[in-house]
Amino acid sequence: MSDVTRRTLIRGLIAATAAAATASAEAATRKRSSSGGSGRTRTDPKKTNKHKRPMARPSGPVERPKSARAPTRSAARLRHPKAQPVAARRPFSGGPPPRPHRTPDHRFARPHIGHLRPHPKAPHPPPARWTYRPYYTRWWVHPWWRFRYVTVAVVALTFTPWPWKVDWAPPARSGWTWVPGHWQGAVWTPGHWQPVAAAPRGYTYVPGYWMGSIYIDGYWRIKRRRSWVWVGAVYLEDGTSRWPHWRPEDEAPAGYTWESGFWDGEEWVDGFWRPEHRSGFTWVEAWYGEEGVYHAGYWYPLDEEADAIWIPGWFDGAAWIEGYWVDAAEYEEADIESWEPEAGWDDGWEAEENGENGADAPAEPLALPVE
C-alpha cells in the first residue's frame, strides 16, 4: 500500500470517527470474537498448561438470584436507571479528581486495595499480587455492576477533538503540550498530550490514546519489569485502539490468549490468561466509556432467553466468576440504592490519607499519574 493510499484511508477514517463521536466509539470497541471450546481461566502467567483451573461459580443468593432467565440480543448492553457519575472523569486542566470510590453509591464504592479483608461470598482470600487486588474489591460492589470499574483515566473534553488531523490543535491545557498527529514510518499516530514535567526517575511516559472521541490520559510507567514486555498502543482501521499494556514474556498456555490489563488513572491493573474460545459463548471486548467507567471484557452466551438481562461475569483476581441471567422486570424495578454490601466496603481510605497504603504496597508502583 502506498503512502498516498494510506493517507486517503486516514482522511476517510477522520470523517467517520468524528461524526460517530462517543456512541460509535463504544459500539466499535465492544467487538465480539467467535467462540467454542473449554471454559477455564488462568490467572498466573508463570503457570504451565497442566495447572488449568475451572471457572469458579458465585455462591449465595445475591450472585445467583432465583429469577434467572435472560435477555434478547438488544439487551446485551447492560442498562441501569441511575446516571453515570461524571465526577469519575479527569478535568481537562489540573490533576486527577477526588477518588470516586469513597461514595455511598454501591455501584462503585469499594475498599482500598491495601486494606482488603476476605469477602464472605468469595471462594478465596484477596490475591497476594498487588496488581490483582483491584479486581477483588469488586466483591463489595453491587453484583450487577461487578464487571465495571470506575476510573479517573478519561479526560473530560468540552470540545470536539480532531486528533487525526495534522493541522488541528486543541485549546491550551495547563501543564501539557500538544503533539500533533504524525506518521511513524507506515504507522499513523494521532495527536496526544505530552506532560511538560520531566519523568520521575526510572519511569517513562505512556502517551494518552483515543477510542473514537474518548481520550484516556497518558501516565508514567516503570521502564523495565522483569519477565514482562511492554506492548504499545495499536490503532485499528475503524478508529478504535488496542491500548498499551504489560504482557508476560512466557508464551501463552495452549488454548489461551492474554486479556490485557488497564490503567485506572491511579493504578496499573494486570491482565490475565483467558480461553481463546468457549463453547456456547462469545467474548465481548473491554472498553472505556466517556463517563470514565471501564467496562471489563466478558463472556456472553450465544443462546439467549426472552425478557431477561445478562449480568456479565468478571475476574476477581484469582478466578472467573460466572455471569447469569436476571428477569428484565426485576432488573428494571430493583432498588439499587437500598442494597447493603458486606462489612469492609469502605476499609482503608482513611489509612491511605495518613500514608498507610498497606504492608504489601510496592516500593515502585508499575505506573503513576501525571500530577
- Using CA atoms, how far residue 69 sits from 35, 259, 263, 321, 329, in Å, is 22, 28, 34, 18, 11
CA distances to 41, 51, 366 from 273, rounded to whole Å, are 6, 12, 19
Cβ count near 204 (within 10 Å): 12
Task: Give the per-residue pLDDT at 33.
Answer: 39
Planar angle of CA 61, 63, 69, nearest 5 degrees = 90
pLDDT at 359: 63
The angle formed by the CA atoms of residues 45, 230 and 266, to the nearest 5 degrees, is 90
Asked if 158 and 172 touch (Cβ cutoff 8 Å), the reply is: no
Nearest to 239 by CA among 218, 270, 214, 211: 211
- Which cell goes with 274? 483467558
CB distance 317 to 129 below 8 Å: yes
Of residues 234, 261, 266, 265, the one with CA closest to residue 248 = 261
- Write out residues in the chain with pLDDT < 70, as ranges: 1-87, 237-240, 358-359
What pLDDT, on a 0 to 100 scale, did the predictor assign at position 238? Answer: 65
For residue 162, the model assigns a pLDDT of: 92
Q: What is the CB neighbour count within 10 angstroms for residue 65?
A: 17
Report how far apart, in Å, the C-alpha atoms of 144 and of each of 131, 147, 174, 282, 312 are: 23, 8, 38, 19, 8
What is the C-alpha separation between 40 and 313, in angstroms, rounded? 13
Kind plus residue range of the DSSP H or E element containing 263: strand 262-263
pLDDT of residue 239: 63
CB 146 within 8 A of CB 121: no
